[in-house]
Chain A
Amino acid sequence: MATTAGVQVLGSWASPFSNRVELALKLKSVEYEFVEEVFYANKSERLLKANPVYQQIPVLIHDEKPVCESLIIVEYIDEAWTGNGPSILPSDPYERAIARFWAGYVDNKWFPTMKELNTASGDEAKAIVVGKINEGFALLEEAFVKSSKGKAFFGGDDVGYLDIALGCYLGWVKVAELIGGVKLLDGSRTPGLAGWAERFLSHDVAKDIIPEAPKLVEFMGKVQAVRAAAANTAAD
């Protein structure tokens, strides 16, 4: 069994991907040092050395060995600390495949539609994107019903892989709702998912990690200001 000494996370409190890693470590009761990489500053030498391929957070460094890509890190945590608490991935191979499938869908198909909401200009364009997001939620609602089998989370009684994969975005979903003036996660359309979201956000571990929407809105403002300043400097 791995020791908890020598565990570092290079991350950012506002990043859903970084949140995933912290969620997994906390679920496994693994102590770690969190090293905040400032989002809008130059990337640290430490980060560039730990993740030369993508130069991005999060990175988990365990006994000086880096692991990159948030979902890969979550699986690593589950396997390296296999004795600590319940499994993050389901134990049945078919259920594992389903959990991995939906996590991939969330990152590769659903999340890009959330990003589109930022760039869509005009009511019509926005409405189209919101439609896509809702289609995604409808699919995830079905996935939730099948996975949870009537229990609280995708992982059943406990928070699991898919809860982590999707739950990390919930703060940003609320931000999109606030800023866009639109209801995305709607109990009338996707009751299962809406109930799950509330339970996830009040979960002992998640509630300390998933940032609240107002803080994220403030963060977004900072990032935009820094980027605008950089653009102005570049234009001079």
Chain B
Amino acid sequence: MAGEELILLNFWASMFAARVRIALKEKDLSYEEKEEDLPNKSPLLLKMNPVHKKVPVLIHNGKAVCESLIIVEYIDEMWSDRAPLLPSHPYARAQARFWADFIDKKLFGAATKIIWSKNKDEAEEGKKELIEILKQLEGVLGDKPYFGEDVFGFVDMALIGYYVWFQTYENCADFSIEGECPKLMEWGKRCLERESVSTFLAHPNKVYDLLMSFRNKLGLDYV
């Protein structure tokens, strides 16, 4: 890969940055990872993503690509000679994009309600929403091993970053995702058997500790 410079502006716990880390590994690409301290964003991040000022950002030979799903498609198109991340048929691609978009539209909002809840009622509301969304996704998965049919693909990548946050959601809202969506949990464990996933996903306990430290700083008692 002579002459190719790849830099990832990253945050270890971000479900969005996870997508990009996994995609880069699936394509067997070398890159430099720069960890962002989110309360103190680096000048490089502010320069490379002036519009949203968020991670992840992939900087390829000095040019910035922002928004995690857009970055994954970019990686797939730039390195189309190996490990396809999206299906090849237009209809299957449209379905993959639809469900990845659904995950972004729906899951993040519900999760946010849970993790920043100020009281039991708010956490409960977030929990109900989350369960509904996860059940819907479980329905889409059906009996397939992955969302991408036989292969780990775009939708799997879009969702798996959330998987390490499941334990945190469960603790905050006092419920069991395994109990509600057993097939989805099986899917998560299956994904973790892939090196690209197990190496590049954060540990659930660390994620939980991180959230608790944020909540403490904000003066939110654990409900």
Contacts and interface: CB of A to CB of B under 8 A. Distances in A.
Interface size class of A (residues with CB under 8 A): 20 to 34
B78 interface: yes
Given A72-B98, A101-B67, A94 B90 contact: no
Interface size class of B (residues with CB under 8 A): 20 to 34
Interface stretch (A73-81, A153-161, A176-184, A218-226): A73-81
Given A53-B102, A94-B63, A104-B70, A72 B77 contact: no
B123 interface: no
Interface stretch (A4-12, A62-70, A124-132): A62-70
From DSSP, what is the main secondary structure of chain A's interface residues?
A: helix
Contacts, number: 55
Contact of B97 (A2, A53, A72, A105): A72
B90 A76 contact: yes
Given A93-B78, A97-B65, A104-B70, A72 B101 contact: yes
A139 B51 CA distance: 8
A181 to B, nearest CB: 30
B74 interface: yes
A199 interface: no
B73 interface: yes
A80 B93 CA distance: 10
A80 B90 contact: yes
B94 interface: yes
A105 B70 CA distance: 12
B67 A96 contact: no
Contacts of B77: 93, 96
Given A96-B74, A96-B77, A105-B51, A73 B65 contact: no
Contact of B74 (A69, A72, A93, A105): A93
Interface in B119-166: 136
B67 A104 contact: yes
A2 B89 CA distance: 12
A67 B65 contact: no
Interface string B29-61: 000000000000000000000010000000010
A2 B91 CA distance: 11
A65 B91 contact: yes
Interface string B57-96: 0001001011100110110011000000000001101100
Contact of A79 (B51, B65, B90, B101): B90
